[in-house]
Amino acid sequence: MTPRALSAALMLLASAGGCATLDTWQRETIFQVGQAQTRWYSEAPEGTERFDIVLANGDRVHAWYLPAPATPHSAPNEAPTALYLHGSRWNLHNSVFRLRRWHELGFNMLAIDYRGFGDSTPMLPSEDSAFEDVLAAFEELKRRQPDPAKRFVYGHSLGGALAIRLAAEIEAEHALAGVVVESSFTSIVDLAAGTRWGWLPGLRWLVTQRFDSLARIETVDEPLLFIHGTADRVVPHEMSDRLHAAASGVRGGLRELLKIEGASHSGVSRAGGETYGQRVRGFVEAAGELAKGKGLQDG
C-alpha cells in the first residue's frame, strides 16, 4: 500500500467517478492483490498443514498450521499459538520468513490468506471481508489452542490493523492473551493525510476503507506489543508511538513499544536480531502469566 497512490486515486475518482468506483479503487489500492504475489515466493515450511476454512457462503479462506517443534520438555500442544495476519500485496508464500522466525521462537503458527489472496476464494477484498476472514480464523485458533492464556495474534502492517480490530470487537472477554502489532498504522485517513494531497478539503470523508486502529485501540483490553522499524518508508514509525500512547485500557497495563533502529517496513523481524526475539518472548511470557492470573475464559 502506497499512501501517495491512495491519495491520488481518491482525488481522481472523487472528481471523475461515483461512490462505488471510489470504493473499488480504494480496495484495489490498499490490498494490491495481483501479480506481485509471485515475488519472494517460498513454499510452506516443512511440516505445515494446509487446509481451507469454509465460510457460511461457501467461500474458502486458505490456512496454514505449523506446529511448534517438540522438545524433551514440551510438546507442540503446550506451546503458545499465534494467528498470523499478513499485510497488503503479499500472500502467505511471501510471508514464510516471518512464520519461520516466530516458529523458531517456539510458537505454533496458524496463518491465513484473506479472500482474494493466494489459494483463498478469488475476489476484491474489503476491510469488512478481510475481517470476516479473521473472525473465521480466530474460531480455528480457539479450536487449535484450547487455552486462552496461550493464544496470541500477530499482525504485520494491514494485518496489524485487523489484529487490533479483532481485539477490540471479539465478544468473549479474555479469550485472547495478547496482540503483537508490527509496522502498522493509526488509520488509512492518517496515511493519506501524510501525503502531498493531505491539505485537500474533505479528504477524510472520501475514505471508505478506514482501518481506524487509533479509534479502536482505546477499547482493547488485551496486552499489546508494538514493533516498528525507524527506517520504515511505508508507514511512519511515529504511528506506533501514537497507538502505544492511546492503548490505555490494556489488562494489567501491559503495553510495550519496541523500535528497531534502521529497520524497513518489511524487515523488522529479520533486522531485530536477538533483541526482537527476546522482546517477543518476554512479552508473551508476561501476557501469558497475566492471563493465567486473570483466569481467562474460553468464549
Distance CA 80, CA 179 (A): 12
Residue 2 has pLDDT above 60, yes or no: no
pLDDT score recorded for residue 16: 42
CATH of the domain at 143: 3.40.50.1820
What is the percent of the chain where pLDDT is above 70?
83
DSSP collapsed to 3 states, 163-182 = HHHHHHHCCCCCCCCEEEEE
DSSP letter string, 224-237: EEEEEETT-SSS-T
Residue 4 has pLDDT above 60, yes or no: no
**Strand-by-strand arrangement of the 108-112 sheet:** 49-54, 60-66, 108-112, 81-85, 151-156, 178-182, 224-229, 255-260
Cell representation of residue 15: 472528481
Please give the tally of structural domains in the chain: 1
pLDDT score recorded for residue 192: 85
Question: Residue 140 — φ and ψ, nearest 5°?
Answer: -70, -40
Please give the residue range of the domain that contains residue 156.
3-294
pTM attached to this predicted model? 0.90
* 124 located within any domain: yes
Other beta carbons less than 10 A from residue 211's beta carbon:
26
Residue 17 has pLDDT above 50, yes or no: no
Task: Determine which of 27-41, 91-105, 215-229 has the lowest per-residue pLDDT on average.
Answer: 27-41
DSSP letter string, 47-109: T-EEEEEEPTTS-EEEEEEEPPPPBTTB-GGGS-EEEEE--SS--GGG-HHHHHHHHHTT-EE
pLDDT score recorded for residue 235: 97
pLDDT score recorded for residue 272: 96
* 299 located within any domain: no
Other beta carbons less than 10 A from residue 87's beta carbon:
25
* 278 located within any domain: yes
